[in-house]
Structure formats: structure tokens, C-alpha cells
Amino acid sequence: MNAQRYPLGPLADALGIELGLQLGGAARWDPTPQPQGTAAIAEAAGVTVRRVRFWKEHGLSEQHADEAACTIGLHPCEIWPEWFDQPNPEELRSTG
């Protein structure tokens, strides 16, 4: 099984979302607040905020990276250029 993990930062970048310290409330009142940070990523990727916090600490599995990328309309290699750097399991079996 592939243990490759993908960092959350590139997914946030692809969404135009800044990940940073979430301190206190908004700097000014906004009558139409929009989700920010992990909440915005969760909404865009169709997952819970708790899942995004896990990804922030541990990275995304190959399956979650693929699902998140597809959900926002991108191929995972458009977010993580190293996507195709992992060995192909079929090639490993044929050379073994």
C-alpha cells in the first residue's frame, strides 16, 4: 500500500485560500461572512473542518488528494506536481 502523503498547502493555494493562524474574530464586521481558512477548504472539498485539520497536520492520503482535487475540478497533478513521481504498482509487480 502506498503511504505517500500530500501537503494541504498546495490545495489551499489552488483554491486561493490563505492558511495561517486563525486568531480571534474578523478585523471588521462583514454582513455576508464567507468561510475562511480550513472552513473554506472544507466547504470547497466537501469534507468536514475536522478532516481538513487532520490534513493540515498529517497531509492527504492519495485517495483523499485525488477526491479533493476532482471535487474542485482539477487533476491532482495540477495541485501536487509530484503526483506522478510515485512508482506504479503494476510496474513493480512485473519487475519483481
Mean of the per-residue pLDDT values of the chain? 84
**What length does the chain have?**
96
Sketch the domain layout of the chain as residue ranges.
Answer: 9-20+35-95
Q: What is the pLDDT of residues 64-94, one digit of tens each?
A: 999 999 999 999 999 999 999 876 666 666 6
The β-bridge partners of 6 are 60
Fold for the domain defined by 9-20+35-95:
434 Repressor (Amino-terminal Domain) (1.10.260)
Distance of alpha carbon 49 from alpha carbon 22, whole angstroms: 13
Q: What is the dihedral of CA 39, 16, 61, 56, to 10 degrees?
A: -50
| pLDDT band (50, 70, 90) for residue 55 | very high
Q: pTM, whole model, 2 decimals?
A: 0.75
Residue-level pLDDT at 23: 46
Q: Are 6 and 90 in contact (CB under 8 A)?
A: no
